[in-house]
Amino acid sequence: MSVQVNEKHDQMKALGGDVEKSAAQGADVFIQSLQNEGVEMIFGYPGGAVLPIYDALYKNPIPHILARHEQGAIHAAEGYARVSGKTGVVIATSGPGATNLVTGIADAMMDSLPLVVFTGQVASAVIGTDAFQEADIVGITQPITKHNYQVKDVNDLPRIIHEAFHIASTGRPGPVLVDIPKNVSNEIFTLSEVKQTEVDLPGYQPTTSPNFLQIQKVAQAIQKAKKPLILAGAGVLHAKASEDLVKFVEQSKIPITNTLLGLGTIKGDHPQFLGMAGMHGTYAANMAICECDLLINFGARFDDRLTGNLDHFAPNAHIVHIDIDPAEIGKNVPTDIPIVADAKEALQSLLKLGVVTDGFSEWTDHLNKLTEEFPLFYRQSEEGILPQQAIEMIHKHTGGNAIVTTDVGQHQMWAAQYYKFNNPDHWVTSGGLGTMGFGFPAAIGAQLAKPKETVVAITGDGGFQMTLQELSLLQESQIPVKVIILNNQCLGMVRQWQQTFYEERYSESLMPSQPDFVKLAEAYDIEGYKVSTVEEADQVFEKALKSNKPVLIDCRVKQIENVYPMVAPGKGLHEMLGVKE
Amino acid sequence: MKRVITTTVINQSGVLNRVTGLLMKRQFNIESITVGHTEQPGISKMTFVVHVEDQRKLEQLLKQLQKQIDVLKVNDITDKAIVTRELALIKVLSPPAVRSEITSIIEPFRATVIDMSKNVITVQVTGDPEKVEAFIDLVRPYGIKELTRTGATAFVRENQKTPSQQLSIL
Ligand SMILES: Cc1cc2nc3c(=O)[nH]c(=O)nc-3n(C[C@H](O)[C@H](O)[C@H](O)COP(=O)(O)OP(=O)(O)OC[C@H]3O[C@@H](n4cnc5c(N)ncnc54)[C@H](O)[C@@H]3O)c2cc1C
Ligand SMILES: Cc1ncc(C[n+]2csc(CCOP(=O)(O)OP(=O)(O)O)c2C)c(N)n1
């Protein structure tokens, strides 16, 4: 990372002016366009087709994080984007560099994360000839990007880059890919200056203001309802509307639940919060969905992990769906009051209307009783650490204030259930694609975005091994991420399903041989600890989570332990397993 | 149900791929698709005939198409007063013995013979897809050697208020 950015930036401002006009090649224009967009850092990996770009970056640096695998780079950019609300920027070379990004692009598309991904491409003249390291990345990523481009003319670069940032970050956010043939990076720019022109995209005009009549209908529906419920999803976070949401929740006195990705929109211990809903949601939250007569959804896309069997989803409810993407409304769940809008604008109009109620005391008493009677629980064990306990200890030692990233699997669900977030944008997890290998690099990006905060990557022993090469970055760039591996020596979530649905035939889900994670940490020159008892864990967590250095903890947890409660696939939310001891 | 959908698109490279890719990803069955320039430079129009299961699927299709950045306008014109045209080229086996019989079928359809050899005639027929279908059914018994259809392209009629009157002009 470099500190000379500003000085260089000023130099570059002149670029394209009379003095340096002759020198401006595509690659220089590229760098200046990124600077015009206010890009703080790039996550990337060099290669042949992007050599001109890396050369321009050398002369005119923007801080660059050299991941050890392109997948690591893009997940880091996703983590950065999720906690900062800014657009993550990724560069990779053509062919294998570009295809290594595919998983991350699909992940960002599913979870609506704003990324602009630049790939090098072979020279225009040989595109289509199976040239060395040619891959049709525009074709490959067409269904997994919000939009993508191939640059044909160097003079189009500033416009395309500006459009890419605009598309990625507005409306429903998402990844945009820009493919740049090598010759375009070398060509001389002939326009008078590199500037952000007005975006002119007649086919892209996201609606952000709600229809006021529809908002009034919501207010009326609340007045009529006896058992209303709010569901808040990630859209509220994208809209930066958590504060408005909480105001609305408190003003209307309506109970609230979250999707997995909506966690953090309201404090985990807020008295009106029922916990997460869905496949591994709380009993109270799922029963609230089953019994409510009005369901107000702010920015959740009614994913199947949330809804369970759609035939049994909120059978008695009037559905209000507020989403910035009209295609989400009515996609899975028929909607009575559709509102296409930014969640913040919708909440603010509702707040302006002032929806005051008498508090639905019968309904909330009922739900509180369910919470009391059917809380999340685990069976205490004498030996060893239970994974749920480990999460509770992490919560205790960070006071609920850490940025927590996870990988995918059991540990992810336990983190969602037991880490009670105090703040929005502190929860980074792969929801829609469920990408193993996401958690650790995402923590790196999150930490770079928020250098002062404690960032904990909670991962499984399986998923961590998919992207652990990024350990190199921790020491190199002084990134104090705390990696806590909940090591159950198996692919826990797969093992759980095999136990539950395949009569304990543990086909390829137990991983008896593993690296020594502590030695591995040491090999990368960071502190490593192994903990096997609750006392050890408590001590090490306390110290590690207050440290300003990167730490890796191999936390041995009980192997055969299941995530409960659970809605089996294909079942309705009312058919939960494991709700009580 | 069968729907006729038109989209106006910016003529960027890859736009056809984008639209058909989207239909494939969302599992819609395309019966036919036509693409061509419009009166505005840089703007093309696509007409699809698709099969959709129900109203909800149809709504999804329209919304997903509309979401594409290069798509300017999407219309389901099935229930409007529209003119639909398709062109088919058909090589029909027609030995001299049956040739005049075939010619007598061609006439009422205002089809034209555009090529002829000893035993085969090539016929061009234009009209709405049902008419083209009917014509093909009639000549099929004689033996179709080769057939190609363009797929439907369609326009909404200028006057929507009196569709029944308009229809009589058909
Ligand atoms: C192992 C595993 C288990 C899981 N179990 C569960 C579970 O039990 N419960 C659960 O809920 N999920 C679960 N998930 C996650 C699930 O797959 C989905 O990712 C999640 O439900 C999606 O949450 P969401 O709709 O809030 O977020 P997203 O999928 O990110 O959707 C956000 C929505 O907000 C809209 N939006 C974006 N910006 C705005 C804006 N400014 N204003 C308004 N709207 C906006 C978008 O258009 C979109 O519709 C699980 C995932 C895994 C991997
Ligand atoms: C890239 C990828 N491959 C496979 C899966 C399927 N899968 C989901 S959870 C899981 C097990 C994860 O094991 P681990 O990382 O050890 O976490 P645990 O469930 O034990 O907490 C697997 C294999 C996936 N989600 N992602």
Examine residue A244 and state whether it is found in any structural domain, yes or no: yes
User: Do A417 and A536 have their domain in common?
Assistant: yes
* Domain span holding position A286: 212-373
Nearest CA distance, B41 vs chain A (angstrom): 15
Per the annotation, the verdict on A110 as an active-site residue is: no
Examine residue A570 and state whether it is found in any structural domain, yes or no: no
**Cβ contact B42:B10 at 8 Å:** yes
What pLDDT does B161 receive?
A: 65
What pLDDT does A159 receive?
A: 97
The chain A residue lying nearest B25, using CA atoms, is A143
Span A284-322, pLDDT tens digits: 999 999 999 999 999 999 999 999 999 999 999 999 999
Q: Report CB contact under 8 Å: A138, B14.
A: yes
Residue nearest to atom 1 of ligand 1 (CA): A409
Report how many domains make up chain A: 3
The residue of A150, A204, A333 whose CB has the most chain B CBs within 10 angstroms, and thus the best one to mutate to test that interface, is A204
Task: Tell me which of A133, A348, A514, A559 is the catalytic residue.
Answer: A133
The answer on pLDDT for A363 being more than 80 is: yes
Examine residue A485 and state whether it is found in any structural domain, yes or no: yes
Percent of chain A surpassing pLDDT 90:
93
What pLDDT does A3 receive?
A: 36
SS3 A241: coil
The answer on pLDDT for A6 being more than 60 is: no
- The Cα–Cα gap between A328 and B35 comes to 28
CA neighbor of A489 nearest in space, from A527, A532, A460: A460
Q: A112 CB under 6 A from ligand 2?
A: no
- Confidence tier at A267 by pLDDT (50, 70, 90): very high
What pLDDT does B162 receive?
A: 55
Per the annotation, the verdict on A224 as an active-site residue is: no
Among A324, A350, A373, give the residue marking a domain's end.
A373
The secondary structure of B76-122 as a DSSP string is E-TTS-EEEEEEEEEEEE--HHHHHHHHHHHGGGT-EEEEE-SSEEE
A233 CA: nearest ligand 1 atom: 26
Task: Tell me which of A25, A32, A41, A70 is the catalytic residue.
Answer: A70
Distance (Å) from CA A578 to ligand 2 centroid: 21
Cβ-Cβ contacts under 8 Å for A3 (sequence gap 6 or more):
none
> Residue A101 is part of a domain; what is its CATH number?
3.40.50.970
User: Do A435 and A496 have their domain in common?
Assistant: yes
The answer on pLDDT for A238 being more than 50 is: yes
What is the four-CA torsion angle of B122, B126, B127, B133, rounded to 10 degrees?
20
Distance (Å) from CA A403 to ligand 2 centroid: 21
Examine residue A573 and state whether it is found in any structural domain, yes or no: no
Examine residue A382 and state whether it is found in any structural domain, yes or no: no
Mean pLDDT of all residues in A43-53: 98
- Confidence tier at A7 by pLDDT (50, 70, 90): very low
User: Do A368 and A394 have their domain in common?
Assistant: no
Q: B2-76 has which CATH code?
A: 3.30.70.260
Residue nearest to atom 38 of ligand 1 (CA): A235
This complex has an ipTM of 0.90
Q: A78 CB under 6 A from ligand 1?
A: no
Domain B84-155 has CATH 3.30.70.1150: yes
Per the annotation, the verdict on A86 as an active-site residue is: no
User: Do A77 and A23 have their domain in common?
Assistant: yes
Nearest CA distance, A334 vs chain B (angstrom): 9
- The Cα–Cα gap between A415 and A395 comes to 9
- The Cα–Cα gap between A474 and B143 comes to 74
A430 CA: nearest ligand 1 atom: 53
A412 CA: nearest ligand 2 atom: 21
User: Do A20 and A161 have their domain in common?
Assistant: yes
Distance (Å) from CA A469 to ligand 1 centroid: 29
User: Do A365 and A464 have their domain in common?
Assistant: no
Examine residue A381 and state whether it is found in any structural domain, yes or no: no
User: Do A419 and A523 have their domain in common?
Assistant: yes
Name the residue of A236, A279, A304 to mutate for ligand 1: max ligand atoms within 8 A of Cβ. A279
Q: CATH 3.30.70.260: which residues of chain B?
A: 2-76
Structure-block tokens of residue A413: 């669900």
The answer on pLDDT for A10 being more than 50 is: no
pLDDT by position in tens, chain B (length 170): 999 999 999 998 889 999 999 998 888 889 999 999 999 999 999 999 999 999 999 999 999 999 999 999 999 999 999 999 999 999 999 999 999 999 999 999 999 999 999 999 999 999 999 999 999 999 999 999 999 999 999 999 998 865 444 443 33
Examine residue A366 and state whether it is found in any structural domain, yes or no: yes
Distance (Å) from CA A431 to ligand 2 centroid: 13
The answer on pLDDT for A171 being more than 80 is: yes
CA neighbor of B111 nearest in space, from B88, B129, B92: B88
Among A373, A397, A417, give the residue marking a domain's end.
A373
The answer on pLDDT for A5 being more than 80 is: no
User: Do A361 and A398 have their domain in common?
Assistant: no
- The Cα–Cα gap between A440 and A433 comes to 16
- The Cα–Cα gap between A477 and B113 comes to 76
User: Do A439 and A544 have their domain in common?
Assistant: yes
Cis peptide before A565 (omega within 30 of 0): yes
- The Cα–Cα gap between A161 and A158 comes to 5
Per the annotation, the verdict on A182 as an active-site residue is: yes
Name the residue of A259, A266, A313, A458 to mutate for ligand 1: max ligand atoms within 8 A of Cβ. A259
User: Do A336 and A410 have their domain in common?
Assistant: no
How many other C-beta atoms can be found within 10 angstroms of the C-beta atom of residue A188? 14
Examine residue A198 and state whether it is found in any structural domain, yes or no: no
Longest CA pairwise span in chain A (Å): 76
User: Do A171 and A239 have their domain in common?
Assistant: no
Q: Report CB contact under 8 Å: B70, A203.
A: yes
- Confidence tier at A16 by pLDDT (50, 70, 90): very low
Residues in chain B with CB shorter than 8 Å from the CB of A338 are none
A400: region left, alpha or beta (phi > 0 left; psi from -120 to 50 alpha): left
